[in-house]
């Protein structure tokens, strides 16, 4: 079978599998951020200047373009996510197929697909960023094999593309590829810095990012970019979103076995580094050179992505490191020749397979996956309602859509804005109503500050939305970080009580309407 046909069939199979394992339930916060951000872009708003976001423009503008062509719907967004994840699996195969044994490559493909189908919010921006990071790794591996500066320049463009989706991921990927390239070339008897390859890698990446910053400066968005992406996260993210590593006691409690995936990248990096060291001592077979060069790139990529995930420890946040580690394990198994170490690496690979399978099966049993709808409705499931919500939330969405005109705006908040965990950002998209404030996407340490609440009140006074959506669903969520603390700032709560009155209650969702002006 031709390689191109094999890639096409793999991509198609991954799209079908991703669709069947897709959870039909809307992810209110993470998915809502992307959906509502794309809706704002489509309405002419500019990222950072007109609405707060800690992601790059890539996902918002890509989805906005798709909405422009195919219509504004969750199904369009979900298919975009399926395509991105399928692309990641294809890239894993592209990385491994020419460099390791087929059984190792296909095992890594299966494990990668299992993780991608079972973990992570739909259209989460790190996924396209990972897609381009792996593409950059593939091109840089080819550059190391052939000495091609064109391939290195292509890697630089891909790194910049990753940064357009997540600024930090693009930067970390660039650092990892620079470190891996230097390590691969800095060998005994040839201790030279690959200046030409590094220049070809760094200059395109830096040029594209500089152009984006220039656009922000010209449009007046640069100060907001610095606030959203640099100053606010540096001061607040670890304090208000940090989560500890899970207790070892829960690893073997049924579905919790999947949490072992959090530690697999560490084991993969250690095994990969040992394999490179051992092979360097014993001599490198010529046929192993491509796999060895790839390992030099994958180890720092896996490690630096892992460090990014240790602040908020979860499978979702570790998957950025977990997927490169799957490819790294396949390369390590290929490089190891001695019997005992080879058995140890094979055991580690087996653990990866088992843990990924547990994650996949648990996802299918715990969620309303599309495969069940296909089994029930056949091909009619292709047109199934993607806005799968609990009845009270669906009723609230319907009420707002019926009582606000298409051009009117909405505010979605919580019952107490002195303590922020998350809000239902998806409500804006599902009702088809634009936010009445720049700060529609809630983060702890942001909307519970006095100066932000004062800004929001001014916007609400200017926009004067007829309805506001106040929700207590997340009041009981208490994480072991500063998001559990009250700031004591209740300016926004007091304003809402003064300007609005209850009109309808849908479970934990209270819809309030603006009070009539005196004398009206």
pLDDT in 10s for each residue of the chain, 520 residues: 688 899 999 999 999 999 989 988 899 999 999 999 999 999 999 999 999 999 999 999 999 999 999 999 999 999 999 999 999 999 999 999 999 999 999 999 999 999 999 998 999 999 999 999 999 999 999 999 998 899 999 999 999 999 999 999 999 999 999 999 999 887 665 666 688 899 999 999 999 999 999 999 999 999 999 999 999 999 999 999 998 888 766 655 555 677 888 889 999 999 999 988 887 776 667 778 899 999 999 999 999 999 988 999 888 899 999 999 999 999 999 888 665 567 777 777 787 788 888 777 776 666 777 776 666 666 566 655 555 788 999 999 999 999 999 999 999 999 999 999 999 999 999 999 999 999 999 999 999 999 999 999 999 999 999 999 999 999 999 999 999 999 999 999 999 999 999 999 999 999 999 998 754 4
∠ CA 237-424-56, nearest 5°, is 50
- Stated length of the chain: 520
275-296: pLDDT as tens digits: 888 877 766 677 788 999 999 9
> What are the structure tokens assigned to 69, written together?
């062509």
3-state secondary structure of 283: coil
Crossing angle (nearest 10°) for helices 315-335 and 126-146: 20
Cβ(371)–Cβ(21) below 8 Å = yes
Where do we find the tokens 């200017």?
462
């Amino acid at each position: 079978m031709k390689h191109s046909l094999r890639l096409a069939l793999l991509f198609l199979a991954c799209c079908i599998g991703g669709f069947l394992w897709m959870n039909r339930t809307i992810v209110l916060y993470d998915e809502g951020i992307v959906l509502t951000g794309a809706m704002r872009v489509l309405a002419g708003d500019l990222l950072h200047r007109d609405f707060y976001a800690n992601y790059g423009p890539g996902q918002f503008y890509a989805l906005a373009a798709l909405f422009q062509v195919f219509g504004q719907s969750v199904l369009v967004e979900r298919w975009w996510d399926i395509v991105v994840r399928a692309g990641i699996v294809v890239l894993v195969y592209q990385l491994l197929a020419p460099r390791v044994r087929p059984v190792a490559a296909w095992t890594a493909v299966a494990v990668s697909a299992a993780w991608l189908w079972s973990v992570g919010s739909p259209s989460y921006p790190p996924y396209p960023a990972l897609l381009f990071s792996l593409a950059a790794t593939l091109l840089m591996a080819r550059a190391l094999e052939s000495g091609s500066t064109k391939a290195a320049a292509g890697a630089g463009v891909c790194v910049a593309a990753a940064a357009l989706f997540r600024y930090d991921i693009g930067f970390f990927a660039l650092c990892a590829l620079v470190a891996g390239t230097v390590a691969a070339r800095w060998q005994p008897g040839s201790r030279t810095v690959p200046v030409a390859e590094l220049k070809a890698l760094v200059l395109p990446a830096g040029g594209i990012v500089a152009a984006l910053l220039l656009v922000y400066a010209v449009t007046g968005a640069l100060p907001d970019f610095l606030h959203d992406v640099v100053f606010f996260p540096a001061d607040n993210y670890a304090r208000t979103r940090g989560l500890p590593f899970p207790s070892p006691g829960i690893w073997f409690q049924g579905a919790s076995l999947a949490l072992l995936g959090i530690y697999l990248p560490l084991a993969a990096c250690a095994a990969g580094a040992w394999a490179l060291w051992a092979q360097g001592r014993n001599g490198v077979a010529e046929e192993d050179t491509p796999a060895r060069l790839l390992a030099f790139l994958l180890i720092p990529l896996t490690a630096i992505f892992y460090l990014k995930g240790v602040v908020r420890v979860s499978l979702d946040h570790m998957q950025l490191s977990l997927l490169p580690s799957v490819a790294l394990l396949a390369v390590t198994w290929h490089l190891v020749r001695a019997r005992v170490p080879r058995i140890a690496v094979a055991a580690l690979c087996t653990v990866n397979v088992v843990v990924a399978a547990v994650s996949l099966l648990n996802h299918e049993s715990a969620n309303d996956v599309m495969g069940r709808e296909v089994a029930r409705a056949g091909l009619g499931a292709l047109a199934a309602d993607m806005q799968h919500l609990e009845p009270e939330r669906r009723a609230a969405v319907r009420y707002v859509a019926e009582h606000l005109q298409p051009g009117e705006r909405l505010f979605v908040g919580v019952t107490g804005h002195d303590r922020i965990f998350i809000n239902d950002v998806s409500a804006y998209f599902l009702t088809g109503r634009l936010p009445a404030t720049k700060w529609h996407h809630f983060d702890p340490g942001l909307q519970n500050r006095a100066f932000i609440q004062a800004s929001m009140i001014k916007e609400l006074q200017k926009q004067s939305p007829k309805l506001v959506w106040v929700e207590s669903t997340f009041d009981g969520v208490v994480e072991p970080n500063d998001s559990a603390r009250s700031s004591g700032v209740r300016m926004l709560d007091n304003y809402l009580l003064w300007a609005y009155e209850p009109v309808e209650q849908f479970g934990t969702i209270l819809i309030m309407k603006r009070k009539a002006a005196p004398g009206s």
